[in-house]
Amino acid sequence: MNKKRTQQISEEVRKCLAEIVQNKLKDPRIPTMLSISSVEVTNDLSFAKVYVSVLGSEKEKEEAIKGLNSAKGFLKKELGRSVKLRAMPELIFTGDDSIERGVRMAKLIDEVNNGNN
């Protein structure tokens, strides 16, 4: 499958998963400050690596990933209703700390800029 099509499918899966997690998933382990930052679908559409960003401690992040993994069946079923694919990819949830790194870098840049004034 061409790269553009795979990227389109990845983005559609990301949008739908984010909506499902925010509005339909009722797991107490999953915090409200959770976002699906990106999704990478393999070329054969058999797997989708889902990057999850959680604002909170490491324990909260681990619990959120556990909660998402236990809800895989439900998420896959709901995703199948939203995204029309011949076969729904297997979801693999992994933590994403890119937002935290960005915030840390912004603070460092602000410190450098304020130190020069």
Mean pLDDT by 10 residues, the chain (117 residues): 87 92 88 88 92 86 91 91 86 85 87 79
Structural domains of the chain in order of their starting residue, each with its CATH number: 3-116 (3.30.300.20)
Entry pTM: 0.81
Q: What per-residue confidence (pLDDT) applies to 117?
A: 58
Give, as one character, the DSSP assignment of residue 89.
Answer: P
Measured distance CA(64)–CA(104) in Å, rounded: 22
CA 69 to chain centre: 12
Give Cα separations from 8 to 13, 72, 73 (angstroms).
Answer: 9, 22, 23
Q: What per-residue confidence (pLDDT) applies to 30?
A: 86
Measured distance CA(57)–CA(39) in Å, rounded: 23
CB 64 within 8 A of CB 52: yes
